[in-house]
């Protein structure tokens, strides 16, 4: 891991810890904390997206663990703890792996940092297409401006309605 990535990793781990603590406190308080839920998010929905699956899916690498619940437009996230939050992260939905993801800071992109061999499909799967979503303000787990890069194992965009996201549009708060 290069020095820039190591520094960014340390920053993200600290940020992720703060964000996770804030979300868990909000969740534990029944969303009655001083900070309101994002528009359109009910306490029940927040509980849904914060609750990990029970057990470990057989199709996910054995040394990964779940991070959070069913995230709209993505599904469940699994990663090796030492790789969280930058990746590779593996997506899981309805019984099968669905993507490999990495998160790259805007600063690292601007600096011209290269990433080789990061977006690999899990054994038995292939990458169909890649989505790159710019997160100008970050999101819980990695709050710095960055790019979420998803290498999807399926054709089309069925994931846009996953996890009770009936609009088919990526929520602005995500």
Domain around 25: 3-161
Is residue 174 a part of any domain in this protein?
Answer: no
- The mean pLDDT value for 1-12 works out to 41
Q: What average pLDDT does the chain have?
A: 82
- 39-43, 108-112, 123-127, 143-147: range with highest mean pLDDT: 123-127
What digits encode the pLDDT tens for the residues 128-157?
999 999 999 888 788 899 999 999 999 999
Rounded distance, CA 68 to CA 164, Å? 15
Give all strands of the β-sheet with 75-79 in edge-to-edge order.
65-71, 75-79, 89-93, 96-105, 146-152, 129-135
| 16 pLDDT tier (thresholds 50, 70, 90) | very low
Is residue 142 a part of any domain in this protein?
Answer: yes
CATH code assigned at 56:
3.30.200.270
Is residue 171 a part of any domain in this protein?
Answer: no
Is residue 169 a part of any domain in this protein?
Answer: no
Whole-number pLDDT of residue 23: 39
| Sign of the four-CA dihedral 58, 61, 66, 72 | negative
Is residue 173 a part of any domain in this protein?
Answer: no
Is residue 45 a part of any domain in this protein?
Answer: yes
- Give the total number of structural domains in the chain: 1
Is residue 166 a part of any domain in this protein?
Answer: no
């Amino acid at each position: 891991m290069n020095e820039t990535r190591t520094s960014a990793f340390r920053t993200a781990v600290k940020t992720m810890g703060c964000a996770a603590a804030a979300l868990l406190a909000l969740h534990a308080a029944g969303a009655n904390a001083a900070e309101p839920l994002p528009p359109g998010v009910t306490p029940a929905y927040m509980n849904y997206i914060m609750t990990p699956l029970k057990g470990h899916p057989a199709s996910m690498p054995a040394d990964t663990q779940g991070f959070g619940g069913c995230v709209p437009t993505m599904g469940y996230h699994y990663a090796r703890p030492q790789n969280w939050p930058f990746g590779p992260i593996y997506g899981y939905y309805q019984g099968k792996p669905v993507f490999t993801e990495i998160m790259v800071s805007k600063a690292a992109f601007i600096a011209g940092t290269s990433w080789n061999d990061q977006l690999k499909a899990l054994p038995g799967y292939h990458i169909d297409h890649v989505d790159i979503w710019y997160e100008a303000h970050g999101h819980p787990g990695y709050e710095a401006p960055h790019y979420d890069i998803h290498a999807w194992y399926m054709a089309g965009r069925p994931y846009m309605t996953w996890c009770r996201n009936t609009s088919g549009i990526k929520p602005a708060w995500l």
